[in-house]
Structure 1
Amino acid sequence: MRFQTLTTLTLLPAAALAAPAPLDAEPAAAALAPNNVHIVGGSLLGSGCPSGPVDIRCDGSKTRLEIVFPEFSVKTGSGTQASDWRKNCKLTLNMEFDAGFQVSTRTTSLRGYAQLPSGASGQCSSTFDFTGASGSSTYTTDLDGPRQGSFEVTASANAQRWSSCGGTTAIMNVNTQCSISPTSQNAQITIGHSSRPVVVAIEWRRC
């Protein structure tokens, strides 16, 4: 297990982020957000966490996060062992924002590279929860072989959860896991390179 402090936090204008396909069909006018949103710190823990700094970007609308895991990769087959077949990385983000709001996640867009032969299948999931609030939201992406090359898959949550009301902070926990089966075939999935970050759409509402 590796533990590190989140070292790169960036707030960018909305136009500065390369925009993939729209995360959903809702009009932009529906995006309610506080005037001030800051990511003030965080940490990483897990077998899939990168050895270098992690990059978190929030666009100017405060409704989109980009997460880069530079070395998050799972693989199976010749020369691999159990620790290569399944990995996870738990990201904890400390957020500050204007009073009177709650935050939630809406969709995730998983972007990466997969090399899966016929008969192999991969799965990646991200589970979100907020410290002090009940429940969690899980987004699951299934990748079936044969497949080779870049991919982008957008997933919706099994349930929507909100941070608690009554404060100006929220701790968002994101546990991302990837695995491949069967483990006897040569296969690999890599997610979150700098050019293809994981995109998380977030939503705000008034308390």
Structure 2
Amino acid sequence: MKFTISSILLCTPLVLAAPQLAPRAPKNLKVVGASVLGSGCPYGSAKVKTDASNTIFDIRLSEYVVKSGPNTEASDWRKNCKLTLNLQYDEGFQFTTLSADMRGYAIIPSGVQGHCLNTVDFTGQKGQASYDLTLAGGQGPFQLSSDTDALVWSGCGGSTAIMNLNTQCWISPPEKRALIAVDQVSSELTVRMALQWKSC
């Protein structure tokens, strides 16, 4: 039995002008740092890979497991992992997430709900984009995808920016046995994020 998506909630706290999209990324683009931190990605369990253009990022989490039921504790019922991405690039550009997809596997029985929430923001700036997914009544793979209508952009006037992507999953109520975990095929929960650029 596969999941039914009981709700998808999308928040857009910033009202943004239509972007003037750049045809490509800045000529000089460098990943200064990419790190992960959180209960869902303990040290050594996460891998961050980038493509040749430094605009597509794959985050693979091998120990992101949320579980509830007998013999579990509060720390088992909720997990998170925060990706911090520090980019250096030519002045005159801004960037945001073109897409961000989170894929995993879950077992959620009747009477229990699983929730996953992703938020994107920039260090030192107000506002964030967020999107979430509620899973109920089934088991199988799931995917939580961002929407291009919910975007937050890096600031203009500089040549560096730090983007934060925080993913959280939790189960409620915690008394019944349920699971949100890595995909059974890949043995990893994956998040793929692609960037898009515009001229300031």
TM over 0.5, yes or no?
yes
2:175 to 169, 184, 195: 184
Which amino acid is the alignment partner of residue 152 of structure 1?
Q
Contact 1:110-1:191 at 8 Å conserved across structures: no
Partner deviation per Cα, 1:53-96 (whole Å, 9 max, x = no partner): 53222234544221112211110011101111012222212112
Alpha-carbon separation, structure 2, partners of 1:100 and 1:30: 10
Which has the higher mean CA deviation after the structures are superposed, 122-131 or 90-99? 90-99
Which runs of structure 2 are paired with 1:188-207 in the superposition (5 Å)?
A: 188-191=179-182, 197-207=190-200
Contact 2:104-2:188 at 8 Å conserved across structures: no
Partner deviation per Cα, 1:83-138 (whole Å, 9 max, x = no partner): 11012222212112222211111332111111111222111111111112221111
Alpha-carbon separation, structure 2, partners of 1:84 and 1:190: 11
Which amino acid is the alignment partner of residue 40 of structure 1?
V
1:92 to 84, 89, 95: 84
Which amino acid is the alignment partner of residue 174 of structure 2?
T
Q: Which residue of 1 aligns with 2:141?
A: 150
After TM superposition, which residue ranges in structure 1, 4 or more long, deviate above 4 angstroms?
Answer: 191-196
Q: Measured at CA, do residues 106 and 117 of structure 1 come closer, stay the same or move farther in structure 2, by a change above 3 Å? A: same
State the SS of the aligned residue for 1:145: strand
Alpha-carbon separation, structure 2, partners of 1:142 and 1:106: 23
The percentage of aligned residue pairs carrying the same residue is: 48
Which amino acid is the alignment partner of residue 116 of structure 2?
C
Larger relative contact order (CA 8 Å, sep ≥ 6): 2
State the SS of the aligned residue for 1:156: coil
Q: Which residue of 2 aligns with 1:83?
A: 75
State the SS of the aligned residue for 1:143: strand
Number of residues paired by the alignment?
178
2:116 to 113, 124, 143: 124
Which amino acid is the alignment partner of residue 56 of structure 1?
V
Which amino acid is the alignment partner of residue 174 of structure 1?
L
Which amino acid is the alignment partner of residue 164 of structure 2?
N
Which amino acid is the alignment partner of residue 182 of structure 1?
P
Q: Measured at CA, do residues 88 and 79 of structure 1 come closer, stay the same or move farther in structure 2, by a change above 3 Å? A: same
Structure 1 residue 143: Cα displacement: 1.7
What RMSD over aligned residues (CA atoms) do the two structures have, in Å? Answer: 2.5
Which amino acid is the alignment partner of residue 132 of structure 1?
G
Whether 1:57 aligns to 2:57 is: no
1:159 to 126, 129, 150: 150
Relative to the length of structure 1, the TM-score reads 0.75
Q: Which residue of 2 aligns with 1:169?
A: 160
Which amino acid is the alignment partner of residue 45 of structure 1?
L
Q: Which residue of 2 aligns with 1:21?
A: none
Contact 1:132-1:164 at 8 Å conserved across structures: no
Alpha-carbon separation, structure 1, partners of 2:66 and 2:109: 14
Relative to the length of structure 2, the TM-score reads 0.77
